Structure 1
Amino acid sequence: MEIVQYEQFGEKMYKEKLINGLEVNILPKEGYHKTYGILTTDYGSLDNKFVPLHKTKMEQVPDGVAHFLEHKLFEKKDHDAFDLFGHYGADANAFTSFTNTSYLFSTVNYPQKNLEILLDFVQDPYFNAKSVEKEKGIIGQEIKMYEDDVEWRFYFGILKNLYPNHPLSVDIAGTVDSIEQITVQNLYDCYQTFYHPSNMNLFVTGAIDPEETLKLIRANQAKKQFASDAEIKRAELPNDETGKDIIPYRMLELDTQRPKAAVGIKGLDEVPEGRNGLIYKMQVEMLLWLLFSDTSVNYTRLYNEGIIDDSFDFTFQLERSFHYASITSDTDNPERFCHDIIDILENAEQLLKGQYQQFNLAKKEMIGRQIHAMNSLEGIANQYSGHLFTGATIFDKVAIVQKMKFEEVLLVCRSFLRSEAVSVYQILPKEGS
């Protein structure tokens, strides 16, 4: 067992990679009554083409299998895992992203028992044709519900502009047509390939004894048989580094009260590997903060001119195989919004020159936000990077911000903000709506 000390914050994390490959991270928190655990596999909606375990040829499964599998794992032959968690006083949930699937619980009571339930239900798949067919109807209704959600359509609208030939442009849940094609064999193939302990990590934090918790986890895993660890072979995803595949502009009319506008930036530059990838991510986030936070000159001008309102937002997402930024707002003047945002992006380096004072203030703000998040068990565990940034935690982020230099942000500005990487997506009210 390895102990990582974060002396600046008075925290200790206990780490161990088990014989079966499962990465375990335990962070005890004194003074807390709650325990939070999250078990994550490095497998998401993008992973729809791969070589299944014990096979030799690449196969493609229908869109939405990862999300479908997440739903079905809770259901067993004679019980539902949600009922077990409820019996022992825990709240449980799960979520699927483009690159990960996570299962979690939160409890004040019986933390060790609930931890065993988490490990056991995720590591004991049970699928049959009847329940799979029933689930298709449930998820089909969920997909239709999101199709009627303007915010969801807006979110995926800019993604489809930036990644038209990439599975990123497909809803994580798939489509009504794609989930109809899902079979029991698809579920088992995906499970056996991606749910091996060597492709997973467990993070437990809160009112726990690290030695006892690790002993429980070791014993739980030792009782189970797993296939031999095998290299996962995923299909290489399309990646046009020229930006020629980007759709520059699209507009959609929907039943909404006000127009919505988004300016997206596809990452065409190369992201460094390991911890350096996290450094890059935080440099881009700093860049966007300096350009668009509510303390920036740009935000103040756009707000005072009525181009944006409190719905204005900017985000940056970096995951396995993709990274992008989006700047969005409800606005009565979508054309002006997009014009002004693009103008800021094209002149970003010039606008940032000399902003050393603003940069130092932004560093303090970012550090303050990270420290605040350390009070949340969910904030700590959910920000664990797993494979992406070689196990970086929320505690590593503060040191990265502290060491960050303004000149590094300018370098990232030049590599990431490229005119050929920009796209615009708008949702406008239907006439009469």
Structure 2
Amino acid sequence: MKLRQNPRLGERLYETKLTNGLTIKLYPKSGYHKTYAILTTNYGSIDKTFIPAGETDYVTVPDGIAHFLEHKLFEKKDYDAFEKFGRYGASSNAFTSFTRTSYLFSTTSHLKENLDILLDFVQEPYFTAATVEKEKGIIGQEIQMYNDEPDWRLFYTVIGNLYPNHPVRTDIAGTVDSIAQITPEALYQAHATFYQPSNMNLFIVGQIEDPDKVIDWVQANQGQKTFAQPTEIVRSLPEEADDGHDIIPYRSLEMPITRGKSMVGIKGLTDYGTGQVALETKIKMNLLLEVLFGDSSTQVQHLYDVGTLDDSFGYEFAIQRSFNCVTLGGDAENAQELSDAIIDVLEHATTSPDFSEDNLALVKKAAIGEYLQAFNSLEAIANQYSDEFFTEVSPFDVLGLIEQVTLADLKQMATDYFKIEAMTVCHILPEEANHA
């Protein structure tokens, strides 16, 4: 078992890989009564075209199947996993992203029993035509609900503008039409391909008195099961233009809202991978956005003062396997005015009055404070470690990477990333706006 330590943080991380390929990471935290475990597979909504395990030809499955599979794994022939966790005092949940699916529980007791439940229900699928049909109605209602949510529509319209060919443009849950095509056979096929132990990792943080004993528990559980030989997972994605020429520059929608909504999206034209380079890019971009649009930004304060934007304004940098992008926006009385103001800040980023050594120092100090505070939250630690960046590097490395960022780094990031040909705009307007 490999031990990683960070003397500055006083933290330890144990890591091992079982013979079946399952990676296990243990993070003991003294003084905590709760333990949090998360089992993650490197499989998400964008993985819709692949070569199934044991086959030689590509298949393309319906949108939303990864999310559908996440829902269905909890229900077994003779038990419900949620109820079983409850009997041992644990609360459980799961979530699907564009590139990952995670299953988790938190508990103050019966760690061994709850680990067995987690591993068993995720690794032992059970689907029938009847239960799959029932789930289609449940998830269909969820999809309809989100389709009526303006912020959801705004985000996915922007992503669709930036990625007109990539499956990231489609809601993680799929569409009502796509999930209608899901069958038990397709679910079993996806599970056999992507839920191989070698494509998964188990992270446990909290009250761990004896790491070796916990490893033994997991090893015993896995030893009772028969797994197919690990196979290479082969995925396929449509080609995206690397110069941005396929980006849809503008779209607007009308919805029954009282105020307009505006969002600017920027497509990353460089693939940064999922290792240390990607992590460094994420840190630099987050610092750059905070310098330009954060609480210390005089330009943003001016936009607040004149009413161009309000407290709904926000921004995010998403970087995952095969795509990365920035989104910025919020509510606005004048949607066009807000998007124009955002683009103006982006185009003149390196000459902004906020682009200074003093402001960067303040932003880095705040980022380091947030980073250190996250080590007091078991959930935050576990969610960090389920992130795909940390297959190659450790969150222990983040502190040093933040400290090393310079203003020159941010200038280069702004120059490389904030290109007008890589941008798109979406407005959602009140239904009566164009009929007045």
After TM superposition, is the score higher than 0.5?
yes
Q: 1:193-228 CA distances to partner (integer Å, 9 max, x unpaired)?
A: 000010011110011222221111111112211110
Structure 2 counterpart SS, 1:50? strand
Structure 2 counterpart SS, 1:102? strand
Task: Report how far residue 64 of structure 1 moved.
Answer: 0.7
Q: Which amino acid aligns with 1:213?
A: V
Partner of 2:425: 424
1: CA distance between counterparts of 2:339 and 2:387? 36
Partner of 1:16: 16
Judging changes above 3 Å, is the alpha-carbon distance between structure 1 residues 148 and 386 closer, same or farther for their aligned structure 2 residues? closer
Task: Report how far residue 129 of structure 1 moved.
Answer: 1.0
1: CA distance between counterparts of 2:233 and 2:273? 22
Task: Report how far residue 396 of structure 1 moved.
Answer: 2.1
Partner of 1:63: 63
Structure 1 counterpart SS, 2:352? helix
1: CA distance between counterparts of 2:161 and 2:5? 44
Preserved CA contact (<8 Å) 1:99 1:319: yes
Q: Which amino acid aligns with 2:22?
A: L
Q: 1:380-402 CA distances to partner (integer Å, 9 max, x unpaired)?
A: 01011554443434332112101
Structure 2 counterpart SS, 1:318? strand
Residue segments in structure 1 that go unaligned for 5+ positions in a row: none
Partner of 1:26: 26
Partner of 2:343: 342
Partner of 1:7: 7
1: CA distance between counterparts of 2:289 and 2:425? 17
1: CA distance between counterparts of 2:3 and 2:55? 39
Partner of 1:374: 375
2: CA distance between counterparts of 1:352 and 1:36? 44
Judging changes above 3 Å, is the alpha-carbon distance between structure 1 residues 352 and 416 closer, same or farther for their aligned structure 2 residues? farther
Partner of 2:102: 102
**Equivalences for 1:14-413 in 2 at 5 Å?**
14-209=14-209, 210-271=211-272, 274-351=275-352, 355-384=356-385, 387-413=388-414
CA RMSD of aligned residues (A): 1.5
Structure 1 counterpart SS, 2:391? coil
Structure 2 counterpart SS, 1:31? coil
2: CA distance between counterparts of 1:276 and 1:404? 13
Q: Which amino acid aligns with 1:116?
A: D
1: CA distance between counterparts of 2:127 and 2:5? 42
Q: Which amino acid aligns with 2:372?
A: I
2: CA distance between counterparts of 1:237 and 1:185? 25
Q: Could you tell which deviates more after superposition, 402-411 or 28-37?
A: 402-411
2: CA distance between counterparts of 1:415 and 1:385? 29
Judging changes above 3 Å, is the alpha-carbon distance between structure 1 residues 233 and 7 closer, same or farther for their aligned structure 2 residues? same
1: CA distance between counterparts of 2:119 and 2:386? 20
Q: Could you tell which deviates more after superposition, 349-358 or 174-183?
A: 349-358
Task: Report how far residue 57 of structure 1 moved.
Answer: 0.3
1: CA distance between counterparts of 2:422 and 2:72? 38
Task: Report how far residue 353 of structure 1 moved.
Answer: 8.2
1: CA distance between counterparts of 2:89 and 2:386? 28
Preserved CA contact (<8 Å) 1:370 1:394: no
Structure 1 counterpart SS, 2:237? coil
2: CA distance between counterparts of 1:273 and 1:211? 30
Task: Report how far residue 37 of structure 1 moved.
Answer: 0.4
Q: Which amino acid aligns with 1:365?
A: A
2: CA distance between counterparts of 1:105 and 1:353? 43
2: CA distance between counterparts of 1:353 and 1:254? 36
2: CA distance between counterparts of 1:279 and 1:199? 24
1: CA distance between counterparts of 2:391 and 2:214? 23
2: CA distance between counterparts of 1:122 and 1:336? 49
Partner of 1:414: 415
How many equivalent pairs are there?
Answer: 433
Residue segments in structure 2 that go unaligned for 5+ positions in a row: none
2: CA distance between counterparts of 1:56 and 1:14? 37
2: CA distance between counterparts of 1:242 and 1:355? 30
Preserved CA contact (<8 Å) 1:66 1:96: yes
Judging changes above 3 Å, is the alpha-carbon distance between structure 1 residues 143 and 65 closer, same or farther for their aligned structure 2 residues? same
Preserved CA contact (<8 Å) 1:384 1:392: no
1: CA distance between counterparts of 2:238 and 2:27? 35
2: CA distance between counterparts of 1:257 and 1:16? 54
Instruction: Give the TM-score of the pair, scaled to structure 1.
Output: 0.97
Q: Which amino acid aligns with 2:35?
A: T
1: CA distance between counterparts of 2:331 and 2:387? 35
